[in-house]
Amino acid sequence: MEKVLMAGASAPVAAAERYVVIESEHWLNSRTGATASIYGAVPWTRDADAGDWSVVPAGWTIRDLRTGTVGCGRRPFPTAEAARDWIVQQNNRMRGAHTQAGVVGA
């Protein structure tokens, strides 16, 4: 189950916010240490190898609420707080860009 933390403390995200923090997970092979994204095909090629793989936490990342995109073009953040800091920075940057462009209600 995906763990989601909102941009603020534990309060619901405001309608105007674009990003939320989610726990990042990846496939991990217990035998080889190999990792793989959970957003593609399963990483094993034979049923016999399926037991070597499990989904494990890998830090914290971002979900874009407008596009549904997961991740922000970088490795996961080590803490949820670091990811929230990134969200605040991005939301402020977006608000500033909208204000400069004359967009009302941004």
pLDDT digits (tens, 9 = 90+) for 10-66: 444 454 578 899 999 999 999 999 999 999 999 999 999 999 999 999 999 999 999
pLDDT band for 105, please (50, 70, 90 cuts).
low
Which helix (H) or strand (E) segment holds residue 27: the answer is strand 19-29
Q: What angle do CA 90, 97, 19 make, to 5 degrees?
A: 30
pLDDT band for 99, please (50, 70, 90 cuts).
low
pTM comes to 0.69
